[in-house]
Structures are given as structure tokens and as C-alpha cells.
Amino acid sequence: MAILSSLSSATLCGASVFPKVLACSSEFSTNLSSPFESSKICLTSSFPASRHPKKISTWNLTRNVAPIQGIRCHAMQVETRECFTAGKKFQLSDVIEGQQFDREMLSAIFDVAREMEKIEKSSTQSELLKGYLMATLFYEPSTRTRLSFESAMKRLGGEVLTTENAREFSSAAKGETLEDTIRTVEGYSDIIVMRHFESGAARKAAATANIPVINAGDGPGEHPTQALLDVYTIQSEIGKLDGISVALVGDLANGRTVRSLAYLLAKFKDVKIYFVSPEIVKMKDDIKDYLTSNGVKWEESSNLMEVASKCDVVYQTRIQRERFGERLDLYEAARGKYIVDKDLLGVMQEKAIIMHPLPRLDEVS
């Protein structure tokens, strides 16, 4: 029995999906200590013509230059050809929701994540993103997500501009719109990582910005980088993603991590998802409809002990008090219903794992 914590959303996945239009091929990992010497990196630029010309080409970099869509000017030789190698690529403009990923892309991202692990464990400072600035714009409290993105950026040689409570300590407190804030911040940085209290805020920010935007959680909407890490963890620990059974437990109505995870699990074959939650925080119909339309089996249950005995993964979440507003009576009615304790461990399969996106309250003893 392995008890796991999904501690980081970015150390593995946030960094691996960093540039807005970066397409990574298998040639990426030739030499991590100096990754661009005689390496070919496929990039595209999708900025408006007023900022950057569009181009799809392979750049044969002749210097140790961090390649982010031509924002920095360096001498290089350009060789135009097909940009992708089938089965070993991904291309991203923004990271907004779980639905944007397909199975092939997930596989390619995980390949890069494994290379990122080598960088993280190395005693040598990487300069992969030297000269680039990441803005972490957080309107909600965060420990793991913000610090993991910032840690990833710094480990790759980049720099960070941070606002950890933008709701209170930014011009948002003066009534500035999100769009105007994004237009300002993009002038200072090369990428924006944003957490917001409103569902859909990340999509709005991405529509406004001309630089990449990564959704680090938008209210009760989604948390795609956490889900990337969760699926990566499941694959690493269980050894597969096809044919697994997963219990999503706790606050499923407001839990953005479980929503994004459900979207990603739907990309794999013969997956079954069990929803276990108090009645007032059941999984919303949009997720159920998505799973049904994609042929994914799902079932709602009130018996965690029974479900846990069938599952490869029990993904436990807290009841989120902050989503109940002034209705603390509803919060008190929902909390404490499902607890991971020794009795639950006793019914689980030998190789099953427990995961929690944190923070943990009393739902894991």
C-alpha cells in the first residue's frame, strides 16, 4: 500500500508545458546540461503580426539560447521542414483545461516530465529558460502550486515576478478589470501563471494575453496542471492508465482538481470512475455527461469502504469551506462523512494507492 501526496503542480508538469507554442520532439533531451548545442527544437509563433510574425519551422540553434517563440533576438540558422514527429510531440498555446489534452499529447508531456525530473535532481543549475520572466498572478491563497511553479522556473534558470494575493494587494482592489491587469502584466513577463477565484477566469485571461497563460486553478472550475501531475503519478505508481478504477472522494462539486482529473482519465481505455461524496457536493452533470459521451464508465456511491475495495486509486479531497460562503451549516453537514483511516486501508487492494491534492484537513487521519 502506497500513500501518496500530489505535492506539486508545476515541478514536473508546469515547467514541461511552459512556452506558448512550444512543440517538443524526442530530440529535446539530447543533452540536458546544455540542451541546445546542436539540438533541433521545433517551435511555432502564433502571436499577432504586430508583435511577432507567424512561422512554423525547425530552428537549428547554434548557441545556448532558450527558445521561446522569438521574443529574444539571437543569431541562428533556420532550416524549414515539417515540425512534428508522429507520436512524439505536443503543441500548446495556453494550458487552460483538461479537455485540451489528448492521449498522444499526454504521453509526450510525460516524456518531457521525466527529463525535468533529471534536471530537478541534478546539482548543476539548468539554463534552459535563462533570460525569461514568469509572472505568478494569484488571486487566491496557494502554497504548493505557486511555490512549485516558481521553483520550476528558477531550477530552469528563469526569473519570477510574483503576486501571491492579487485580490487584495493589486489594482484589482481598486476595481481594475482582469483584462487590464493581464495587458499590464504581459508587458513585464514572458508567461503568466494565474490562479483566480472565478471559474472561467483563465480562459478570459488567455483570450486577452499575447503571451502564454497557464491556469493554476480558477475557482471551482479546473486545475489542469495538478491533473497532469496526478495522472503522471498514477502511471508512475500503478504502472498503467488503461484499465484502472479510480475513486474520486470528497467535495466533487467545488473540487477543481477532481474535475480536471476526470477529463484526463477519460483519455484512457477501460477506465472506471467512482464518485463518492456527500449529497450536497456531488459531481456536477457536465463531468458526468462528458464521461458518458466518451464511453467512460462511472458510478455514484455513498459507500466508500465498498468502493475502495475495488479501486486502484482512492483520490481523497477536502470539503472546501471557502466555497460555501456564509452557509456554514451546509459545510458542517458535508464535512467528516468520508475519512481515510486504518479501517479503509484494510479493505484496499495490496497495490492500490491513496492520493490527495492537499491541503489536508481531517479527511485523512
Domains of the chain, residue spans: 125-219, 226-355
Inform me whether the pLDDT recorded for 337 exceeds 90. Answer: no
Cα–Cα separations (whole angstroms), residue 353 to 148, 221, 234, 249 = 23, 26, 8, 13
Instruction: Determine the average pLDDT of the residues in 347-358.
Output: 92
Instruction: For residue range 48-84, list pLDDT tens digits in order.
Output: 333 333 223 333 333 344 444 444 444 444 333 333 3
The average pLDDT across 216-227 equals 91
Q: Point out the least confidently predicted range of 48-52, 70-74, 231-235, 258-262.
A: 48-52
Q: Which amino acid is at 354?
A: I
Q: List, in order, residues 6 or more apart from 64 with CB less than 8 Å away.
A: 34, 36, 37, 127
Of residues 358 and 17, which shows the higher confidence score? 358
pLDDT tens, position by position, 194-208 = 999 999 999 999 999
226-355: CATH number: 3.40.50.1370
**Two domains, one topology: 125-219 and 226-355:** yes
What fold does the segment set 125-219 form as a domain?
A: Rossmann fold (3.40.50)
Weakest mean pLDDT among 37-41, 155-159, 234-238: 37-41
Q: Which residue has the higher pLDDT, 343 or 42?
A: 343
Q: Own/partner pairs for 100-105, CB < 8 Å, 24+ apart?
A: 100/224, 101/224, 101/228, 101/263, 101/264, 101/267, 102/267, 103/267, 103/268
346: confidence class by pLDDT, cuts 50, 70, 90: very high
The residues assigned a catalytic role are 144-145, 174, 195, 223
Cell of 66: 532558450
- Residue 279 is predicted with a pLDDT of 80
C-alpha dist (Å) from residue 264 to 113, 149, 258, 345 = 16, 21, 10, 26
